[in-house]
Amino acid sequence: MTVPPRPDADPPVRPRDDLALMEGYHSPQVDVAVRLNTNEAPEPPPAGFGQRLAVALASLDWHRYPDRAYRSLRQAVADHHGVDPAQVFAANGSNEVLQTLCLAYGGPGRTAAVFEPTYVLHSHIARVTGTGVAMGERGPDFSLDLDEVRRVLAASEPTITFLCSPNNPTGMVERPEVVRQVVAEAPGLVVVDEAYGQFARWSALELVSEDRPLVVTRTFSKTWSMAAARLGYLVGPRWLVAELDKVALPYHLDAVKQLAGTVALDFHDEMRARVAALVEERGRVAAALADLPVDVWPSGANFVLFRPRERDGSEVWKALLDRSVLVRNCASWPRLEGCLRVTIGTRPEDDAFLAALGEILRPGSR
């Protein structure tokens, strides 16, 4: 039996007042020939990954709960970064890592600081967990401005300060000295979201230590070609990981995902080669964009932010979609008026995008 929706009726039970006022996360999933809107890897994992995983899955104890402490995965991530397994916390995508951080260190009466424009889920997850949000602004070139950071830290005393490097959606890599300074001055925890960290030259991982309230989050969704698996993690001090372990639901990482993550890390050489190829392809796409009537921002990630100079961003986004090319429409986001973000895909996908964009922006092509 289907129950007809009751869009106009008052629901019998209401969520928290603050949730009722919130909007959900919008990123359209539509069938197109060229999908360059969510910064995934353009190719599936290496063939050997699937074969190794299939063998491992054949002896999985389906009737048993998975290893609650995900020891093999933790060890593999720790080995990958040269840290102790007790410094690693993993969850279902780095979004869930961020949520667990907010549950443990945010909550009612506490505040998280963000510097816009940045990854929208930082403030969204903070709000969903009842954490207040203090918003600062990035400078005109979207870099962090230390005076503005100090103003926000002093005004709101945040228990969590979110940084994002490379920043989504602008692509900018934070300068090491700025991150160091924020960590030195922040009154609470500093989270450096490095979902795109492998594409950048510098990582805040080198700053992680037991006496600094700093964590660095990473994901398997981009470089590791495993967005479908939903797996992310952080590296941080042991005392912090111990608190997160209390907050995570028991057995939150299923056995298949634990195996997939562990096996994936054995293919690090292939992944490094793919990152290098994507970085080169990013240079090619950015150079081609520079020949079109668009403003382009330098990127240290696997995407590029650009703004058509003479045409409305949303109109261009729609015209790309009409040509079966999907990019991210940031045109209505604060500070990003008219901007679009394109993920670096395979060479043919990027060529299709560039050809479509060139056609749309050609004088008189309206």
Among 111, 170, 198, 221, binds ligand PMP (CB under 6 A): 221
Distance of alpha carbon 253 from alpha carbon 42, whole angstroms: 25
The distance of closest approach from Cβ of residue 62 to ligand PMP in the complex, given in angstroms and rounded to an integer, is 25
> What residues have CB less than 8 Å from 269, skipping those under 6 apart?
none
Distance of alpha carbon 293 from alpha carbon 316, whole angstroms: 12
Q: Across the chain, which distance is largest between two alpha carbons, in Å?
A: 64
Is 193 an interacting residue with respect to ligand PMP (CB under 6 A)?
yes
Residue 66 or 169 having the CB closest to ligand PMP? 169
Residue 232 or 360 having the CB closest to ligand PMP? 232
Residue 133 or 195 having the CB closest to ligand PMP? 195
Contact criterion met (CB below 8 Å) for 356 and 320: yes
Is 305 an interacting residue with respect to ligand PMP (CB under 6 A)?
no
Distance of alpha carbon 173 from alpha carbon 167, whole angstroms: 6
Among 129, 156, 159, 219, binds ligand PMP (CB under 6 A): 219
Is 329 an interacting residue with respect to ligand PMP (CB under 6 A)?
no
Residue 118 or 159 having the CB closest to ligand PMP? 118
Is 350 an interacting residue with respect to ligand PMP (CB under 6 A)?
no
Q: Which tokens belong to 171?
A: 């692509």
Residue 49 or 199 having the CB closest to ligand PMP? 199
Which residues from 150-169 bind ligand PMP, rule CB under 6 A? 164, 168
In which residue are the tokens 């100090």 written? 150
Distance of alpha carbon 290 from alpha carbon 284, whole angstroms: 10
Q: How far is CA 336 from CA 10, 306, 308, in A?
A: 36, 10, 12
The distance of closest approach from Cβ of residue 194 to ligand PMP in the complex, given in angstroms and rounded to an integer, is 8
Is 119 an interacting residue with respect to ligand PMP (CB under 6 A)?
yes
Distance of alpha carbon 138 from alpha carbon 277, whole angstroms: 30
Is 171 an interacting residue with respect to ligand PMP (CB under 6 A)?
no
Is 300 an interacting residue with respect to ligand PMP (CB under 6 A)?
no
Distance of alpha carbon 101 from alpha carbon 107, whole angstroms: 10
Residue 23 or 147 having the CB closest to ligand PMP? 23
Is 303 an interacting residue with respect to ligand PMP (CB under 6 A)?
no
Which ranges of 4-119 would DSSP assign to H, the alpha helix? 17-20, 47-58, 71-81, 94-105
Residue number with the smallest Cβ distance to ligand PMP: 93
Among 42, 93, 136, 213, binds ligand PMP (CB under 6 A): 93
> What residues have CB less than 8 Å from 271, skipping those under 6 apart?
198, 223, 224, 225, 264
Is 46 an interacting residue with respect to ligand PMP (CB under 6 A)?
no
Sign of CA dihedral 201, 204, 205, 206: positive
Residue 233 or 317 having the CB closest to ligand PMP? 233
Q: Which stretch binds ligand PMP (CB under 6 A): 50-58, 72-80, 89-97, 133-141?
A: 89-97
- Looking only at the bridges linking them, the beta strands covering 303-308 and 340-343 are antiparallel
Q: Which stretch binds ligand PMP (CB under 6 A): 129-137, 179-187, 219-227, 267-275?
A: 219-227
Residue 217 or 360 having the CB closest to ligand PMP? 217
Is 131 an interacting residue with respect to ligand PMP (CB under 6 A)?
no
Residue 38 or 324 having the CB closest to ligand PMP? 38
- Total binding residues for ligand PMP by CB under 6 A? 13
Residue 159 or 219 having the CB closest to ligand PMP? 219
Distance of alpha carbon 155 from alpha carbon 183, whole angstroms: 17
The distance of closest approach from Cβ of residue 122 to ligand PMP in the complex, given in angstroms and rounded to an integer, is 8
Following CA atoms 37, 38, 44, 49 in sequence, which dihedral angle do they give, to the nearest 10 degrees? 170
Q: What's the first-to-final CA gap in the chain, in angstroms? A: 48
Where does this chain bind ligand PMP (CB under 6 A)?
A: 39, 93-95, 119, 164, 168, 193, 195, 219, 221, 227, 232
